[in-house]
Amino acid sequence: MAHRVDHEYDYLFKIVLIGDSGVGKSNILSRFTRNEFCLESKSTIGVEFATRTLQVEGKTVKAQIWDTAGQERYRAITSAYYRGAVGALLVYDITKRQTFDNVQRWLRELRDHADSNIVIMMAGNKSDLSHLRAVSEDDGQALAEREGLSFLETSALEATNIEKAFQTILTEIYHIVSKKALAAQEAAVGTILPGQGTTINVGDASGNTKRGCCSA
Amino acid sequence: MDIKTMRRGVMENSDGGEDMVLANLIANGDDVGPLVRLAFERGRPEGLLHQLIYVVKQKEAEIEEMCKTHYEEFILAVDELRGVLLDAEELKSELQSDNFKLQQVGSALLAKLEELLESYSVRKNMTEAIEMSKNCIQVLELCVKCNSHISEGQFYSALKTLDLVEKSCTQNIPAKAIKMLIESRIPVIKLHIEKKVCSEVNEWMVEIRSSAKNIGETAIGHAVTVRQRDKEMLEQQRKAEEQSISGLGDLAYTLEAEELEEDSVLQFDLTPLYRACHIHDCLGIQEKFREYYYTNRLLQLNSDLEITSAQPFVESYQTFFAQIAGFFIVEDRVLRTTGGLLVADQVETMWETAVAKMSSLLEEQFSCMESAPHLLLVKDYVTLFGSTLRQYGHEIGTLLDVLNSSCDKYRLLFLEECQQQILDVFGNDPYDQMEIKKQSDYENIVLSFNLQTSDIMPAFPYTAPFSSMVPNACRIVRSFIKGSVDYLSYGIHVNFFDVVRKYLDKFLIDVLNVMLLEKINSGNVTVPQLMQIAANIAVLERACDFYLRHAAQLCGIPVRSVGRPLGTLTAKVILKTSREAAFIALQSLVNTKIDEFMTLTESVNWTPEETNENGNDYIHEVIIYLDSILSPAQQILPLDAVYRVGSGAFEHISNSIVAAFSSDNVKRFNANAVINVDYDLQIIENFAEERFYSAGLGEIDDEVSFKICLVEARQLVNLLLSSHPENFLNPDIWEKNYYTLEIKKVAAILDKFKDSPDGIFGSLANKNAKQSARKKSMDVLKKRLKDFN
């Protein structure tokens, strides 16, 4: 979960990229972290990750983004991906209906292996290929609403909505973490005995975010 | 001088006459070559050389003379030159003095002149600069124009302007910076235009893809219209052929139809594509665009060929095929109108891709379908799709092969559905003859299936000879015929009547007939029900002719030609066999029932003291039963069938009576018992005669009667009561009176025949005498039969 590092950033959030093979997860990662796009498609082997620091409501947030292999044969290390992840970007390819149909399976996997409070956004990638579209935006929106997810259509090629997608996830994660910190702080206040003066260490409270918090 | 020289020569050499020959020749300018060549050829050049020496001396003398003469003149010339030198020196001094004066005077003017020249130079530079600026302005104006075209999306004009800019840049712009700037921007602009145009093409692809479904649906709708019109035309032609009417009207109709077909045009816009083709041609990268277009359209096609699993195929197939049809209609237009953007081979490749995908999809979906109507719906739409695309030059044989291979599946499913319907019809049949109350019902139930027995419209209410199962079954068979024809039409078979006929036979034999047999043999039906079933089968046989004619009609074959080459359905013969089976079952059932009554013979007193003219109980029971089956038989069955039922029953009764005498249950019987059986026999014979004539059977054949069926029992009783039983052994008498009796059987029966001893003593003398005589005769017969065996 998130923890505080004093000198460099305020929060470190782990985000996983999941979805079928070939939907463009790696290019989403490279576009967001290095502003690069590679036309040659190579399958990701195992897992790669990259980081980028950005501002979320005045706080410095470092996003550690894990790019996973969509192919079945790398599924053995599945549970390791999700450990400590606070957010997930679930990607499908708007030109391949099957990748959209498989979203349900990825959601089940998230709910089986990841923290139940994980923030999920669904992304319909390759929106620049509108002439090859096989999944309408309405279909994506409807599924997202049914499942309670955020939804955006993106294009890693044209850098459409990539920044916005991560900003949205990180902001939502920040809100949840802040609520938990506040709850922890109130709990800490409740433990003080009357008549005793004690300095409250806010840093310690943030560090104890994981402990005994109810979900929002 | 020459004259002088010649004179001296003449005077000096007048003495040496020979030496003057060569000299004269040279003086005259004659050619001395031949002379010299001749001298050397002869090998004696000495003479010639001598003459030449002479000429040399002569010439030297002349030169010397001339120098002597002109010596004086040379000295005078030198003196004159010396004088000129002095004059020149004097002139030089004067010129230098004048020059100095001029220099002093002209210095101021020189400064002015320099200023003037500088101004000229400045003017020249300014003129060049202005000229250069004009050229730059011209080019920059072209650039502005180009930008304007680009911002307005007029890419062709932009490219034309860009070409002008490029030429001007090459030729007219000495300003290197501007030139380099413009030259570096030109490729960028071209790339921008290319991307813009590709973007427009992508937008067009999105639009054309969403329009493809409508285009396809419109085209397929048109195919539906054409098919409907063809059907109407065929109907008219068939009627015309049947009535031998002239075909002139048909031709007119045909021409009208052809005109109508040419009017229909599918509307969609390829303008963005034409523009893109043109722009890429101007850019010189048409091949690249061709590749781009083909690749992306192929990707779109592959995407269209993906079926979503979210929606059942029977709900999505029309959209699916309309989308594909629209795609290829667009490609056909593109192929014909874009001047080489697509080539026929590429469209063919795309079509083969689509056909392979559609074929495998259809095979997969057909294998999953469990409903014949679904198969038929999809098949209909696929054939419409096929005929639509055939008009655009596409080969649809593979698709038709898929439909053809699914034909068996369709038939099996359809057979199952019809079988279930037949089962329901049989299950719900009341086995009562249908009462038809009015003419329209008669037409719907009887005439429409050719079930009538005469062409005269009967009076109403009319009782049909069949139960409701018959018209209902006919309706199902008719729908089976139509379903089979529907599936086979517009497919591979052009003339599929034989296939339909085979299917029809199979349905009637394997479904209808099998169910009839199951019902007949089920053991759950009563005698009247079996009679009705037999009557129904007779009608169903007749309906076979209707089925065949109807099938031929739906297959487009005129009725007149059905009779001769098409023959009859095999099912008709099979149904006849089943009717026979019904009668056999009926007979068996009746006989079983009769046996129940005839078991009453076991309670008969076979050694009674008295005779009883009223007959035994069993015979009355049998008569009551026979009456109960012959009455409905007369209502339900035709006369020949009634006779068959009745004769079978009576024959069985006769056999039962004879069997009673043979039965192990009877150890002995006396004359009174025989007399009583005779009374029974008379009762049943009277009933048989009365029933025979009341049924109207007497009108058919006087040679037969129900009574004849009782002959075996009659002959046995006659023998037992005969005054001269030993005549049984007489061949002539046997042939005449006892031909149905088996000798062994008779022997066994006679062993049981014992007259009562008491009777003898109690009788009158006259009676005693008579019985005694008969007894003797009987004893003789018994003995002989025993010996015989």
pLDDT digits (tens, 9 = 90+) for A157-174: 888 899 889 989 899 899
CB < 8 Å to A132, chain B:
205, 296, 299-300, 303
Say if residues A50 and A101 touch (Cβ distance below 8 Å): no
Q: For position B248, what pLDDT does the model report?
A: 44
Q: Which residue does chain A place closest to B208, by CA atoms?
A: A131
pLDDT of B5 over the 80 cut: no
Cross-chain Cβ contact A97/B300 below 8 Å: no
Residue B535, judged by CB atoms within 10 A of its CB (0-12, 13-18, 19+), counts as buried
Mutate to test the interface with B, among A105, A132, A146 (most CBs of B within 10 A): A132
pLDDT of B257 over the 80 cut: no
Smallest Cα distance from B291 to chain A, Å: 16
Instruction: Give the A-side interface with B, CB within 8 Å.
Output: 95-98, 101, 130-134
Using one digit for the tens of pLDDT, what is the confidence trace for B719-744? Answer: 777 777 767 777 777 777 777 776 76
Q: For position A204, what pLDDT does the model report?
A: 42
**Residue from the list A98, A101, A131 with its beta carbon closest to the beta carbon of B300:** A131
CB < 8 Å to A158, chain B:
none
Q: For position B516, what pLDDT does the model report?
A: 80
Would you list the DSSP string of B286-337? HHHHHHHHHHHHHHHHHHHTPPPTTS-HHHHHHHHHHHHHHHHHHHHHHHHH
Cross-chain Cβ contact A131/B310 below 8 Å: no
Cα gap B22→B16, rounded to integer Å: 12
Q: Give the domain A11-179 fold.
A: Rossmann fold (3.40.50)
Helix H, strand E, coil C: the string for B631-700 is HHHHHHCCHHHHHHHHHHHHHHHHHHHHHHHHCCCCCCECHHHHHHHHHHHHHHHHHHHHHHHHCCHHHC
Taking alpha carbons only, the member of A145, A159, A138, A130 closest to residue A29 is: A159
Q: Which amino acid is at B56?
A: V
Cross-chain Cβ contact B299/A95 below 8 Å: yes
pLDDT of B442 over the 70 cut: yes
Q: For position B760, what pLDDT does the model report?
A: 45
pLDDT category of residue B73 using cuts at 50, 70 and 90:
confident
Cross-chain Cβ contact A131/B308 below 8 Å: no
Cα→Cα distances A3→A87, A178, A209, B186, B540, Å: 15, 12, 8, 54, 89
- Tell me the two tokens of residue A136: 């309408």
Angle, in degrees to the nearest 10, between helices B527-554 and B639-662: 140
Highest mean pLDDT among B114-123, B223-232, B754-763 belongs to B114-123
Q: DSSP 3-state helix, strand, coil percentages of chain A (rounded to 5)?
A: 40, 25, 35
- CB-based contacts of B551, cutoff 8 Å, min separation 6: B481, B485, B497, B500, B501, B504
CATH top-level class for B409-585? mainly alpha
Taking alpha carbons only, the member of A98, A101, A160, A88 closest to residue A126 is: A160
pLDDT of B207 over the 70 cut: yes
Cross-chain Cβ contact A98/B306 below 8 Å: yes
Mode of pairing for the β-strands spanning A47-56 and A59-68: antiparallel
Cross-chain Cβ contact B206/A98 below 8 Å: no
Cα gap B654→B716, rounded to integer Å: 10
Q: For position A78, what pLDDT does the model report?
A: 57
Q: From the centroid of its chain, how far is CA B165?
A: 58
**Residue from the list B205, B308, B309 with its beta carbon closest to the beta carbon of A131:** B205
* Domain ranges within chain A, ordered by starting residue: 11-179
pLDDT of B672 over the 70 cut: yes
Smallest Cα distance from B316 to chain A, Å: 15
Give residue for tokens 């139930």. Answer: B445
Q: Which residue does chain B place closest to A129, by CA atoms?
A: B202
Give residue for tokens 């400064």. Answer: B111
Cα→Cα distances B266→A209, B220, B261, B324, Å: 66, 11, 12, 15
Q: For position B250, what pLDDT does the model report?
A: 42
The H or E element spanning position B267 is none
- Tell me the two tokens of residue B353: 């891709």
Q: For position B699, what pLDDT does the model report?
A: 64
Q: For position A45, what pLDDT does the model report?
A: 62
**Chain-wide mean pLDDT for chain A?**
77
Cross-chain Cβ contact A131/B209 below 8 Å: yes
How many CA atoms does the CB half-sphere of B579 hold within 13 Å? 20
Beta partners for residue A151, in sequence order: A122
Cα gap B524→B436, rounded to integer Å: 28
Task: Give the CATH architecture of domain B604-757+770-788.
Answer: Orthogonal Bundle (1.10)
Which of A182 and A206 is assigned the larger pLDDT?
Answer: A182
Q: Average pLDDT in the B464-488 region? A: 81
**3-state class of B107 per DSSP?**
helix
Cα gap A73→A92, rounded to integer Å: 19
B93 in contact with chain A, both atoms CB, cutoff 8 A:
no
Q: Average pLDDT in the B260-273 region? A: 63
Q: For position B679, what pLDDT does the model report?
A: 76
pLDDT of B522 over the 80 cut: no
Using one digit for the tens of pLDDT, what is the confidence trace for B338-356? Answer: 778 888 888 878 898 898 9
Q: Average pLDDT in the B481-500 region? A: 76
Which of A156 and B27 is assigned the larger pLDDT?
Answer: A156
Chain B, window 661-680: residues with a beta carbon less than 8 angstroms from a chain A beta carbon:
none
Helix H, strand E, coil C: the string for B495-509 is CCHHHHHHHHHHHHH
Cross-chain Cβ contact A98/B202 below 8 Å: no
Name the phi and psi angles at A153, rounded to 5: -95, 135
Name the phi and psi angles at B460, rounded to 5: -115, 145
B303 in contact with chain A, both atoms CB, cutoff 8 A:
yes
Taking alpha carbons only, the member of B597, B479, B589 closest to residue B533 is: B589
Q: Average pLDDT in the B66-87 region? A: 77
Cα gap B314→B255, rounded to integer Å: 38
Cross-chain Cβ contact B303/A98 below 8 Å: no
**Chain-wide mean pLDDT for chain B?**
75
Cα gap A48→A77, rounded to integer Å: 13
Cross-chain Cβ contact B303/A95 below 8 Å: yes
CB < 8 Å to A95, chain B:
299, 303
pLDDT category of residue A205 using cuts at 50, 70 and 90:
very low
**Alpha helices, DSSP H, located in B429-526:** 439-445, 469-488, 497-507, 514-521
Say if residues A156 and A37 touch (Cβ distance below 8 Å): yes
Q: Which amino acid is at B603?
A: S
B205 in contact with chain A, both atoms CB, cutoff 8 A:
yes
Taking alpha carbons only, the member of B308, B306, B300 closest to residue B204 is: B300
CB < 8 Å to A131, chain B:
202-203, 205-206, 209, 296, 300
Smallest Cα distance from A101 to chain B, Å: 8
